[in-house]
Amino acid sequence: MSTRRLSLRFGAFVFSTLMLSFAAQTSAISLPSKFTTETIGGGWNEVVGLTFSADGRMFVWERGGRVWTVDGNVKSATPFLNISEEVAVWNNYGLLGFCLHPDFLNNGYVYALYAVDRHHLRYFGTPNYRSGSSETHVATIGRITRYTARAADGFRTIDPASRLVLLGESITNGFPLVAGQHGVGMILFGSDGTLLASCGDTASASITDIGNGSGTYYQQALNEGIIQPKENVGAYRAQLVDSLAGKVVRIDAVTGDGIPGNPFFEAAHPRAARSRVWALGLKTPSRMTLRPGTGSHHRGDANPGVLYIGDVGWNAWEDLNVCDRPGMNFGWPAFEGMDANSPYFNAKVANLDAPNPLYGVGGCTQRYFYFTDLIKQDTLDTPSWPNPCQTAQQIPSHIPRFLHARPAMDWKHGSGPARTPTFSGRNAAAVTVGAVGSPVRGASFGGNCVIGGIWYTAGDFPSMYRNTYFVADYGEQWIKNMVFDGNNLPVEVRNFASDSDGIVFLATHPVNGALYYVTWTSTVRKIRYVTDGNLPPTAVAAANKHFGPGPLLVSFTGTNSIDPEKLALRYEWNFGDGTAINTNANPVHEFNAPAGVPTRYDVTLRVTDKGGEVSDAALIVSVNNTPPAVVITSPLEGSFYSIGGDTLFDCTAVASDAEHDVSQLSCAWQTTLHHNNHIHSEPWDTNCATTTVLSPEGCDGQTYFYRVTLVVTDPGGLATTNEVLIYPDCPNVTPQVAWANPADILYGTALSTAQLNARANRPGTFTYTPAPGTILPPGNRQILTVTFTPSDPNYPAIQSSVLISVVTPPSAPENLFANASAGQIVLSWTDTAAHEAGFKLERSPDGVTFAPLAEPGANSSSFTNTGLPPDTTFYYRVAAFNVAGISEFSNTNAATTPATPAVALKINFQPGSEPVPPGYLADAGVIYGNRSNGWSYGWNKKNIHYMKVRHSSRSLDDRYDTVAYTYESKGGSVWEVGVPNGRYRVVLVAGDASKSSATYKFNVEKVLVVNGKASSSKRWIAGTNTVTVSDGRLSISNASGHKNNTLCFLEVSVAP
C-alpha cells in the first residue's frame, strides 16, 4: 500500500525537462499506400484491449479494471464495468482479458480475466476489508468473472449483483500468480460456445526459475495454497498438467467447470486444473485469437476451433503457435521457439505427478520422471519416451507424454531471422522465411515481443488482405500480414506497418471491417483503406513559446503539416482567447491577460485539404506563468536495486512554483522497468510522496534498469518532468561511467548537478574537476572530468570527460537581404554566431516602428514571410540570441510586393489530341503541376481517361464539344490552378452534348458557381461568381447533389 507522506516544499529550483500537455497528434506509423490512421476516443488510462458487440459498439478495457463503450465514436461518460477495487495493478498484472458472450445482445453476459488484488482476495466481505487499499509485490491469483448487462437499457450498464466467479472463486483454485509477470492473458469464445483463456508460467523473467525462484513470491504462494508443493517448479509449471500456469484452459461459460473432451478431463473433478487444461507449454500467451470458420458448433466434438497464440519469448525467440487439437504442448520451458532451451532443458526438474515405476528396482534412483523425460522434439519417426532407468522400457502411457508442438513461425530477438518448421530427413529442422526452399514467401524479420493478432475477413481492405492474419510485435513496433493455407501452415509474410508505437492489441470491426490497434498506454487507433485515394492530412502545430509574461507574442508554425497527396492545405488557428480564426499558415499572435494573473489558452490548428479531409492538433500557451521547478530527492539518480529480493524506495521531491502555492500543484509518479527495447510501466501514482517497489530483474546479460518519473503540473497546465534511473546491483560487473556532454551555459553560471551528473553501473563516489560551484571562463568545448571511485575496493578508480561551452551573447547577423514575389518576401542573412539559440526577426511598415515577426531556430539563415498584400513595402531586421542575451540588430532591408497581376486565364478541358480553341490553354487530365506555359494547374488524381470529345452537331463550338468527367473516380476529382491570393471572378461552363439528363453542381473555393439541370433543349449550364483564394490555389470540386458532373471550360479574371 502507498505511503502517503507530503514532502514537497518551497525553495529549490533545478531545471528539468518541460512537458506541455497537448492533444495527441496523428501517429507516425508507416503504412502501405492509401491506408491511413485515425484516433478513436481519448483520455484512456493504460488501455490494453478492445472488442465489439454485433451491433458495432466498441468495448475498450483498461488495465486498472474499467471497461468503457464507444458508440458512434463517442466514449461513454461512465464506465460500462468498473472492477478496479478488485484488480491488482502492478508489474504486468491487471484486467488483461475481456470478452462478450456471442449472444450478448440477448443475454448480456460479459467475461473478465484479471489478476486479483491480494487485499481484496483475502479480506473482501470481512471486517478487515478497507476499500481503496491494495497490496503489491505479493503472490495472488488470476480470476475469470462473469457479469450481466441490463436488457432494460439496451445492455449499456452492468448489474453489479450479477457477479459470478467462474474460475478463482477462492485463493486455492485460481490462476497462480507468483512472480509479478507472465500472468493472465486473453479470454475468448470457441466456436462451440466454450470459454478459452490463457495464463503464463508466472515464473521469474530474469533467472532460470526451476523452483524457489529468487525474487518470486513462491513461499507465500505455498503457505497460502496458491500453489501446491508440486507446483514449486518455476517455469516448469507450464509442463505440469495439473496446474493452470502456462496453459490455455477450456471451461463451461456458465459453471466454469472443465469440459468433457478436454485432454486431461476427470469427470469426478471437473474443476480441477487438469480438467480445465486445453493446451500447455506456454510462457506468456498474452494474446490469442480464433481462426474464423474453424471448429464445431457442438462442444461434444472437442473442437472449439483453431487458436493462433502469440507467446512472448524469453532470451531469444518469439513464438507464433497454432493450436488445432486438444493437448498440444508448445514446449516451454524445455523449448523456446523451434529449439531446445538449454538453461531449462539441461535442468533436471522432477514432475511429482509422474512417479517412475522402476524406482527402487535394479538400482533405479530416479523416483519421479523429469519434465524433459516426458517431452521430445518433433519427429517423423514413431515417437519414443524411454524410461531413463531402463531405456528399453517406455514410460507408461497413462503418464502424459508429449511431442514438442513447434510454432508455425518464430523470430529471433533483434534482426532475426524468422523461421518456419521443416524436417531434415526424419528429424525436426527450421528454414528461414524467404530463403531458398522455404515454404514461406517474404522477407525474414526479427522482433522482441509478439502480440498475437487477428484474422481479417472484411471486404473494405484490398482483396489480398481478406482471410489473412495480422500480427504485431511490441518491441520492434511493426504489424505484419501473414497468409496461411487451409492446413494452418504459413505460406507468405508481408510487411504492413512500421514505427507503430508499442502495440498491445489488434482487433477488427464486425460490420465495417478496418483494423484497430491499441498502443500502450493511452491510444486506440483505426487503420482504414481510403478508396477514393484522398488520405487525410496530418496537422502539426508548433510554437516558439509556450509561456511567459503578458503581453506574450508567440510565433506559430503550421507548415510542418503534411498532406499525403501534396494537395494545398487550408489552415485555421483558434487561439482560444476569443479572437477570430486566423487562416495564415504560420501566424504570429499576441496573448493578453490581466497583469500577474496566470491564464491558460488552448490553441488548436485545423488543416483541411482540397478533398475536405481534416486533421487537428493542439497545444497550450500559458501567459503570466512559468512551469514548476522540481528535483527528486529520493530515489537518487544512479541508485542500485538488489537482485536478491524486492527493493523499497521512498519517492519524494522538492518543488516550487513562482505563481502558485505548492498546495495547488498536482503530482504523478510512475515506475517503469526497461528490458532491452521494450518497457513495463506501473500505473501512475498521484500522491506527491509515496513509495515504489522494484523487483529483482537483471544481471543475466540482458539490459535492465528502472526509470522513476515524476510529473508536477500547475493549474495553468504547465508541467515539469524529472526522472532518475536505477540500476541492478550486479556482482562482478566492471565499473563503467556514462556522462553526456551538457548543454551550453551562460557565462557566470556556476557548475552544478545540471552539468555534473555522471552515472555509473556500480555504487561509488564521483569527484569532479573543476569542482561544483566553479564559474568557467567564456569559451567553447571546455573539458569537464570526473573520477569515479567504486565502493568495491577490488576495482580501480576510472575517469571520464565531457565538453561544455560557456557562451556570451552572440554576434549580430549580417547582410540581411529581402526578395519580394507575389504575396511573399524571402529574407536571407549571414549567420556570424557560433552558439545562438535562435533569431529574433522584426518587421516594420515604415522602417521606424518595428514589431516581432518570428523566431527562426539556431543556424537559420532564411525566412519566408507569406500572406502579404500586393504593392506594399515592408522593412526587416534580425538579431541573434542565446541564454546569455541578444545581439545587436543586423542592417535593415526592405522590399515591396508586386502589384496584383491582371490574371486572365482561360482553360478548355479536352483530350490532349484535340485542337485547342483560340485564346485558351488545354487541360488534358494530368495531375497538378507546372504546365510550362506560365501556369501550374491540374487534377488531384489522374483524369486522362475521363477527358472526352463528342464531335456533335449540337455543340455550339469546340469549347462545348469537349468535356471532363469529374464523377467517375471514387470520391470525385478536384481541379486546381495556382494563382496569387485574392478575389477572382470565375465563369464556369458544365455540360455534355451527348447527355440530356444531368444535374450540374460545381463549387469553386467551396462557393457554388454552377447549379442547374440539363434537358434535351438545354445541355449546358453556365455559372459566374466571385471567390476568394487564400492558399495560392483556386479549386473546382463537385458540389453536393450533382449527377453526371462534367466540365467544359473555365474563365478566371481578377475581381474588381
Residue 902 is predicted with a pLDDT of 63
Residue 970 is predicted with a pLDDT of 59
Euclidean distance between CA atoms 1042 and 1053, whole angstroms: 26
Model confidence pLDDT, tens digit, residues 947-968: 999 999 999 999 999 999 987 6
DSSP structure string for 189-253: E-TTS-EEEEE-----SSS--SSS-TTS-HHHHHHTTSS-GGG-SGGGGGG-TT-STTEEEEE-T
Residue 736 is predicted with a pLDDT of 83
Model confidence pLDDT, tens digit, residues 148-174: 999 999 999 999 999 999 999 999 999
What share of the chain has pLDDT > 90, as a percent? 67
Q: For residue 911, how many C-alpha atoms fall within 13 Å in the half-sphere facing its CB? A: 9
Residue 334 is predicted with a pLDDT of 98
Q: Which fold would CATH assign to domain 43-351?
A: Neuraminidase (2.120.10)
Residue 5 is predicted with a pLDDT of 28
Using left for φ > 0, alpha for ψ between -120 and 50, and beta otherwise, residue 983 falls in beta
Q: Is the pLDDT of residue 188 over 90?
A: yes
Cα separations (Å) of 784 from 546, 741, 767, 805?
Answer: 33, 9, 11, 10
Q: Is the pLDDT of residue 846 over 50?
A: yes
Q: Candidates 2.60.40.10, 3.40.50.720, 1.20.140.10, 3.40.640.10; correct CATH number of 814-896? A: 2.60.40.10
Model confidence pLDDT, tens digit, residues 1022-1040: 999 999 998 889 999 999 8
Contact between 461 and 529 (Cβ < 8 Å): yes
Q: Is the pLDDT of residue 11 over 50?
A: no
Residue type, 389: C
Grid coordinates representing 562 are 503534411
Q: Which residues of 533-568 are buried (b: 16+ CB within 10 A; e: fewer)?
A: bbbbbbbbbebbebbbebebbbbbbbeebebbbebb
The gap between the terminal CA atoms of the chain, to the nearest Å, is: 75
183 phi/psi in degrees, rounded to 5: -100, -145
Q: List all residues 6 or more positions away from 269 whose beta carbon is below 8 Å from its beta carbon.
A: 275
Contact between 386 and 392 (Cβ < 8 Å): yes
Confidence of residue 28 (pLDDT cuts 50, 70, 90): low
Q: List all residues 6 or more positions away from 680 whose beta carbon is below 8 Å from its beta carbon.
A: 91, 92, 181, 672, 673
Residue 230 is predicted with a pLDDT of 98
Grid coordinates representing 465 are 488482405
Residue 391 is predicted with a pLDDT of 95
Euclidean distance between CA atoms 557 and 237, whole angstroms: 57
Show the CA angle centred on residue 854, arms to residues 848 and 856, nearest 5°.
125
Q: For residue 476, how many C-alpha atoms fall within 13 Å in the half-sphere facing its CB? A: 23
Q: How many other CB atoms are there within 10 angstroms of residue 268's CB atom?
A: 6
Residue 774 is predicted with a pLDDT of 93
Euclidean distance between CA atoms 924 and 937, whole angstroms: 11
Residue 9 is predicted with a pLDDT of 27
Helix (H/G/I), strand (E/B), else coil: 622? strand
Confidence of residue 807 (pLDDT cuts 50, 70, 90): confident
What share of the chain has pLDDT > 70, as a percent? 96
Residue 14 is predicted with a pLDDT of 26
Residue 1 is predicted with a pLDDT of 31
DSSP-assigned letter for residue 581? P
DSSP-assigned letter for residue 137? S
Residue 20 is predicted with a pLDDT of 32
Q: Candidates 1.10.287.1770, 2.60.120.430, 3.40.50.970, 3.30.70.920; correct CATH number of 904-1054? A: 2.60.120.430
Model confidence pLDDT, tens digit, residues 853-864: 888 988 999 999
Query: Does this chain's domain 43-351 share its CATH topology with 535-623?
Result: no
CATH class of the domain comprising 535-623:
mainly beta
Model confidence pLDDT, tens digit, residues 361-399: 999 999 999 999 999 999 999 999 999 999 999 999 999
Grid coordinates representing 417 are 531471422
276 phi/psi in degrees, rounded to 5: -95, -15
Q: List all residues 6 or more positions away from 464 whose beta carbon is below 8 Å from its beta carbon.
A: none
Euclidean distance between CA atoms 398 and 376, whole angstroms: 17
Residue 15 is predicted with a pLDDT of 24
DSSP-assigned letter for residue 151? G
Mean pLDDT, rounded, for 615-625: 92
Contact between 1011 and 1003 (Cβ < 8 Å): no
Longest dimension (CA), the chain: 113
Q: How far is CA 291 from the centre of its chain?
A: 25
Residue 522 is predicted with a pLDDT of 82
Model confidence pLDDT, tens digit, residues 250-306: 999 999 999 999 999 999 999 999 999 999 999 999 999 999 999 999 999 999 999
Q: Is the pLDDT of residue 21 over 50?
A: no
The two counts, helices (H) then strands (E), for the chain are: 6, 79
Closest by Cα among 576, 564, 568 to 607: 568
Give the pairing of strands 513-519 and 503-509. Answer: antiparallel
Residue 900 is predicted with a pLDDT of 65
Cα separations (Å) of 264 from 182, 267, 532?
Answer: 23, 10, 54
Mean pLDDT, rounded, for 319-337: 98
pTM > 0.75: no
Q: How far is CA 194 from the centre of its chain?
A: 33
Model confidence pLDDT, tens digit, residues 896-949: 988 765 668 999 999 988 999 999 999 999 999 888 888 899 998 888 888 999
Residue 351 burial (10 A CB sphere; 0-12, 13-18, 19+): buried
Model confidence pLDDT, tens digit, residues 744-770: 888 888 999 889 988 887 788 899 999
Mean pLDDT, rounded, for 420-442: 95
Average pLDDT along the chain: 90
Ranges of each domain in the chain: 43-351, 535-623, 814-896, 904-1054
Model confidence pLDDT, tens digit, residues 219-241: 999 999 999 999 999 999 999 99
Q: Is the pLDDT of residue 542 over 80?
A: yes
Of these ranges, 8-12, 15-19, 727-731, the one predicted with the greatest mean pLDDT is: 727-731
Show the CA angle centred on residue 34, arms to residues 29 and 35, nearest 5°.
40
Q: Is the pLDDT of residue 531 over 70?
A: yes
Euclidean distance between CA atoms 965 and 972, whole angstroms: 9
Cell numbers 491469483 correspond to what residue? 141
The radius of gyration of the chain's CA atoms, rounded to the nearest angstrom, is: 34
Model confidence pLDDT, tens digit, residues 101-131: 999 999 999 999 999 999 999 999 999 999 9
Mean pLDDT, rounded, for 695-709: 84
Contact between 933 and 977 (Cβ < 8 Å): no
Residue 313 is predicted with a pLDDT of 94
In the sheet with 862-865, reading across from the earlier edge strand, the strands are: 814-821, 824-830, 862-865
Euclidean distance between CA atoms 427 and 655, whole angstroms: 65
Give the torsion sign (CA, 503, 723, 668, 131): positive
Q: Is the pLDDT of residue 16 over 50?
A: no
Q: Which residues of 834-861 are buried (b: 16+ CB within 10 A; e: fewer)?
A: ebbbbbbbbbbeeeeebeebbbbeeebe
Grid coordinates representing 872 are 506594399
Euclidean distance between CA atoms 138 and 124, whole angstroms: 17
Euclidean distance between CA atoms 371 and 382, whole angstroms: 20
Closest by Cα among 725, 882, 738 to 802: 738
Show the CA angle centred on residue 999, arms to residues 994 and 1005, nearest 5°.
115
Q: Is the pLDDT of residue 895 over 80?
A: yes
Contact between 540 and 558 (Cβ < 8 Å): yes
Closest by Cα among 957, 956, 927, 961 to 944: 927
